[in-house]
Amino acid sequence: MSRNALLALGALLACGLALSGCVGGGPPAPGPASTGDLVISARWPEATAEVLPVASRSIVVGVTEQSSGAQIATRTLTRLSPTTTVQNVEANLTYDVVANAYPNEDGSGTPQATGTTSVLVQPNQVNNVPLTMGSTIVQVVPSHTSLVLEAGTPLLLTATAKDATGATVLVTSTWLWTCSDPDVLTVSVSGQVTTAGEGLAVMTVTETESGVSAQVNVLVIHSLILFTSDRDGNQNIYRMKGDGTAQTRLTTDGTTDRDACWSPDGTRIAFTSYRDGNQEVYVMNANGTGQTDITNDPGTDDYPDWAPDGSKIAFVSARAAGGDRDVYVMNPDGAGVTQLTDNNAQESSPAWSPDSTQIAFGSYRDGNWEVYVMDANGANQTRLTDNPAEDACPSWSPDGTKIVFHSTRDGDYQMYVMNADGTGQTRVSNSTARDMWAEWGPGGIMFTSDRDGQYDVYRMSPDGSNVMRLTNDPAADGQPGW
């Protein structure tokens, strides 16, 4: 080998030794890690111009490295500055970004909106992270879920928003109230209720930012409920509100007063009284004053029912020869008495149809009590029930399509509903006690029952659900009337 070749080989070996020995014999040291910046922009929701829910004052943003779970940044943003930058984030890793909107500026309170996204950070770049939040509201709880409201009574309804844990979520001016039947009541967007008619309406309250809603059932009544009670020693007429409160005695004589019903305009009450030594039909004012005998006959007169058009009162009387009890009608002042039925049997409990064109009643003409219907002038008397048991005390639904009555066909008194032509007879009460004397009104079916140990007045939905006890007295309460 030539001298020059030997010198070149020695130089290469010396260089290799120097390179291998510069780090003590290990691999080369890595350079600085690559990084990128995160620019996080929170929005609520994406489809609107709002950055936050109306009631929110801050957004808390947290950034967590996905694999390790280490949180690398937390920032509190405001409504006016909903964007933040996190600099020098290690690149080529995935990060979870979480944002929560809060009612307080310091990021405290129950979150009103939340959002989550993930981002893979690219090195040496600005990584834009748009983050859309959604409402935390999953339930709306109105101040009432159902209530009875007397016509003319003002009412302001409110509602509360809840999250999945049941915590209250603060909202402001984002409620919308609507009503199913403006002929019954109207409600402003703020929940102010104004009654317009009588009946049952369903109101819906919606929290507009989340779209979550709830319903409120409202029964509007023009008149109070009448009932009979012997709580003061003998049977007298009382009235109460539709929820059973404000029970007030209207008659005070020492005999028996019962079978009360309202006039259509709610200003007068017809009822049966024994105060003259036999049963007579009386009329009084709604407050109990002006009690006047309008039948004044030696025979028995009872079970009055006022026609919805106000023109007539139907009642039962034994004034005809033979003493049989038949259905009659008369003017509200007692004049113009007309006999409608004439059978060698007993009739009871006449009930006008809502359009005042028909009368349903109980009759014993077939050897047991059955429900019949006839025209308002007594024509076309038609049997609707046909059962060996007792079927009696009919009452029409407010729309005139159905009739409720009580029956012993299942062994004890229970409530049944049928179509106005007698078809579709269906049991709607299901207790081991006696349920009887039904009266169908705008808010459902009222009836008398001893299911709680003594006779009291109850109300239920037409299908038998939502049973509500209206009276609770050791004495006997019954014979409700709208």
> What's the CA gap between 179 and 199, in Å, rounded?
13
- Residue 333, both tokens: 């002042």
The reported pLDDT for the residue numbered 222 is 61
Is the pLDDT score of 21 beyond 60? Answer: no
Beta strands in 133-211, from DSSP E residues, in sequence order = 134-135, 139-142, 146-150, 155-156, 159-162, 168-169, 175-179, 185-187, 192-195, 199-207
Q: What percent of the chain clears pLDDT 90, i.e. is strictly above it?
A: 69
The reported pLDDT for the residue numbered 52 is 64
The reported pLDDT for the residue numbered 31 is 42
Is the pLDDT score of 473 beyond 70? Answer: yes
- pLDDT single digits (tens) 264-286: 878 899 999 999 899 999 999 98
Q: How confident is the model at residue 184 (pLDDT cuts 50, 70, 90)?
A: confident
Asked whether the domain spanning 139-220 has the same topology as the one spanning 35-135, the reply is: yes
The highest-level CATH class for domain 35-135 is mainly beta
Mean pLDDT, rounded, for 145-164 = 85
- Greater model confidence, 5 or 340: 340
Is the pLDDT score of 97 beyond 70? Answer: yes
- pLDDT single digits (tens) 384-430: 999 999 999 999 999 999 999 999 999 899 999 999 999 999 999 98
**What value does the mean pLDDT of the chain take?**
88
Closest CA to 222 of 263, 192, 179, 181: 263
Is the pLDDT score of 193 beyond 50? Answer: yes
- Greater model confidence, 462 or 197: 462
Q: How confident is the model at residue 246 (pLDDT cuts 50, 70, 90)?
A: confident
**Of 172-181, 350-359, 394-403, the least confident:** 172-181
> What's the CA gap between 190 and 157, in Å, rounded?
8
Q: How confident is the model at residue 76 (pLDDT cuts 50, 70, 90)?
A: very high
Mean pLDDT, rounded, for 192-202 = 84
Is the pLDDT score of 466 beyond 80? Answer: yes
Is the pLDDT score of 23 beyond 80? Answer: no
The reported pLDDT for the residue numbered 22 is 32
The reported pLDDT for the residue numbered 16 is 37
Is the pLDDT score of 32 beyond 80? Answer: no
Q: Does domain 224-481 have CATH number 2.120.10.30?
A: yes
Closest CA to 403 of 388, 390, 389, 392: 392
Q: How confident is the model at residue 150 (pLDDT cuts 50, 70, 90)?
A: confident
The reported pLDDT for the residue numbered 49 is 53
Max mean pLDDT among 7-21, 139-153, 164-178 falls in 164-178
> What's the CA gap between 122 and 140, in Å, rounded?
43
Domain boundaries, the chain: 35-135, 139-220, 224-481
Which CATH architecture does the domain made up of 139-220 adopt? Answer: Sandwich (2.60)
Q: Is the pTM of this model over 0.75?
A: no
Element (H, E) at 89: strand 83-90
CA 344 to chain centre: 49
For residue 300, list its beta bridge partners.
none
